[in-house]
Amino acid sequence: MGQIYEAHKSLQEHTMREQTDWVRYPELAAELMISGHPMELMDGDAGHVPLTWISSLLDKVIKKLGNKKVFVLSVLGVQSSGKSTMLNAMFGLQFAVSAGRCTKGAFMQLIKVSEEIKTDFQFDYVLVVDTEGLRALELADTNLHHDNELATFVVGLGNMTLINIFGENPADMQDVLQIVVQAFMRMKKVKLSPSCVFVHQNVTDVAAAEKNMDGRRRLQEKLDEMAQLDAKEQVCDAEFFSDVIAFDVQTDVKYFAQLWEGSPPMAPPNPGYTESVQDLKNFILSKASQSAGITLSQFQSKIHDLWNALLNENFVFSFKNTLEIAVYRKLEVQYGNWTWTLRSNMLTIENQLHIEIENGKLDKVELSYLYHKMSKTYEEIKKDMTIYFDDKRNKEMLVQWKGRFENKIKEFHDEQVREVKRKLDEVIQQRSACKKLDNKKTEFENKLLQKSKELAHQLKDKARDEEELKKQFNSVWKVCVKEITASIKPIEDINLEEDQSTILQDLGFEWSLIAESKNNGNYKNISELGDYIHYVSFTRPERWVSAVKERLGFGSETQHMPHGGTGTDQIPHS
């Protein structure tokens, strides 16, 4: 429905004339959303948020409900960790549940706060955002970028995000959260205040909280360390992970028992799971009671701002974690050093060969010769690259970029050689042309000298007749000029009007506008203008223009012409 609406909206000029039902789609979707049906927020197949559709949908919801306040609760976790199951059990929802990838993209659903407890909260609805699982096998090719982008969008959108983890080890989510933190630091223009709660599912030991306290502390230390590293690189004042995403390791980590008591399919539900869900719900509501929530219009703007910021931030999402980004940045610095070494050596070679060409010692430069001159430096850089990529400290991370940077260095080396070859060929060509011109000049000077002597000898008896001498000289001079210019290509007629139209269209002026200006008489042909001075801007126009016009002999009457006028009738023709 959203795709059909956006397709029609993009062709609005054509479709608005025809009365179709597509304009009612947002209203129908708003009614479904208000009645409790989940609406797609992010297209899972395309990995795209249809902003036009979402904006129109929320406009209709605001029109029907008013600009109500909502508390946005989102959930994030790896695939098949029980995210949708937990939300369904907690709020009585009907998000799709099954083994594998059943949720695609992100879905939002409105839940009204009941009248009995409404006085305890500053908002009217809870807006639940359910998302697809991370680390999906179906998205193996684009997994990393897709997961990081989705996680950043979901965490940034929610007032609170439930980080769902299957088991006791949060390692899978640790890397994603590092990328989310760095993305938030880079997106400084988007004002966000997210918080998160870790939910460990399928934990059988009721004493897990006490036993895993050391592990939780280590997790927080790791996240704090990465947040400080990010803050240093992004010139941000954050010192801890909690400065970017609100998180307390003592209270914001929950452990759930497994859903089934025994082995499915005949196993009954585990009462401990239900109790854990209820405890988590009470915890969420107690935290939500301290939040003012956001209005639906603010939520609408937040989606726009966050998604547009994500589209402009491609660099950080391509990495696994913060450490990987730091290693890549060091690699880029080293790559800059390698390229400078190549460029510096190439410039030295270019200067040496340029001097040899100018001195007439070299009249041809072969590519093979340039490659030979560069070979020593290039081989040294290749050895340095091998040593750098084989460094044991970061070898596992560096290996993924080794081939790409080796190709980049080779392409840069080849490009430098070709560029220098082109420059030196131009120098040789110019020198050859100058030499040829000098030879021609000498040849014509000798010819002119010889003809002058012959003419002087012929006219020695008419030396006192000045007019006859001028006449004879002009005749000989015309013949010489004709001989010199015989091989020069004549200047072709220039169609100024056609060139003028082409340039205007290249600058974005529509042909209909140009034609209309011609019909109105506002269009001026450059070839017909005699004075272009009003089309040039100066810092001190009055004094400069009057001085120039006076020097050119145009007179003072042109100084008082209105701006933009051609003044062709006031300028005397020579």
pLDDT in tens, 411-466: 999 998 889 888 888 888 888 888 888 887 888 788 778 877 777 777 777 666 77
Q: Is cis: bond before 268, omega within 30 of 0?
A: no
Tell whether 496 is covered by a domain: no
Same domain, 313 and 430: no
Q: Is residue 494, in this structure, part of any structural domain at all?
A: no
H/E run at residue 254 = strand 253-255
User: Which pLDDT value is given to residue 570?
Assistant: 38
Are residues 450 and 435 both part of a single domain?
no
- Same structural domain, 419 and 513: no
Residue 70: its H or E element: strand 69-77
> Same domain, yes or no, for 57 and 73?
no
Which of these, 310, 307, 302, lies nearest to 127 by C-alpha position?
302
Name the domain boundary from 294, 320, 346.
Answer: 320
C-alpha 22/C-alpha 24 separation (Å) is: 5
Residues 73 and 218 in one domain: yes
How many other β-carbons are positioned within 10 Å of the β-carbon of residue 327? 18
Encoding tokens for residue 106?
A: 């992100």
The answer as to whether 129 is a domain residue is yes
| Rounded Cα–Cα distance for residues 152 and 145 (Å) | 11
CA 3 – CA 173 distance, rounded (Å) = 32
Bridge partners of 39?
108
Residue with tokens 């409105």: 110
**pLDDT tens-place string over residues 355-395:** 888 887 878 888 888 888 888 999 999 899 888 888 767 77
Q: How far apart are CA 219 and CA 198, in angstroms?
A: 11
State the maximum Cα–Cα separation within the chain, in Å, rounded to a whole number.
135
Question: What does the alpha-carbon distance between residue 195 and residue 308 come to, in Å, rounded to a whole number?
Answer: 21
Q: What is the CATH number of the domain that holds 157?
A: 3.40.50.300
What is the rounded end-to-end Cα distance, in angstroms, of the chain?
72
Whole-angstrom distance, CA of residue 489 vs CA of residue 42: 64
Contact 307, 153 (CB under 8 A): yes
Range of the domain at 57: 1-66
Predicted local distance difference test score (pLDDT) of residue 62: 92
Candidates 170, 177, 178; CA nearest to 253 is 170
Q: Are residues 468 and 514 in the same domain?
A: no
Q: Please name the residue ranges forming H helices in 110-169.
A: 143-157
Residue 47 CA to residue 49 CA, distance in Å, equals 7
Statement to judge: residues 375 and 465 lie in one domain: no
* Spans in the chain with pLDDT lower than 50: 15, 100, 141, 189, 315, 540-541, 544-545, 547-574
Q: Are residues 99 and 239 in the same domain?
A: yes
Q: Which secondary-structure segment (H or E) carries 411?
A: helix 395-458
Buried b / exposed e along 369-403 (16+ C-beta atoms within 10 A) = ebeebbeebbeebeeebeebbeeeebeebbeebbe
Mark which of 66, 81, 116 sits at the end of a domain: 66
**How many helices (H) and strands (E) in the chain?**
18, 8
Sequence-ordered strand ranges (E) for 91-217: 105-112, 125-131, 160-166, 196-201
Amino acid at 258: Q
Does residue 542 sit in the same domain as residue 556?
yes
Tokens of 337: 């050093």
Residue 512's CB is within 10 A of a number of other CB atoms, namely 8
The label of the residue with tokens 């000098």 reads: 438
Query: Does any domain span residue 565?
Result: no
Q: Is residue 569 part of a domain?
A: no
127 forms beta bridges with: 72, 110
| 195 and 133 within one domain | yes
Q: What is the pLDDT at residue 564?
A: 41
| 393 and 531, same domain (yes or no) | no
In 3-state terms, what secondary structure has residue 196?
strand
**Is the distance from CB of 273 to CB of 256 less than 8 angstroms?**
yes
Please count the structural domains in the chain: 5
Residue 20's Cβ-count burial label (10 Å; 0-12, 13-18, 19+) is exposed
Regarding whether 366 and 282 lie in a shared domain, the answer is no
- Strands (DSSP E) contained in 97-159 are 105-112, 125-131
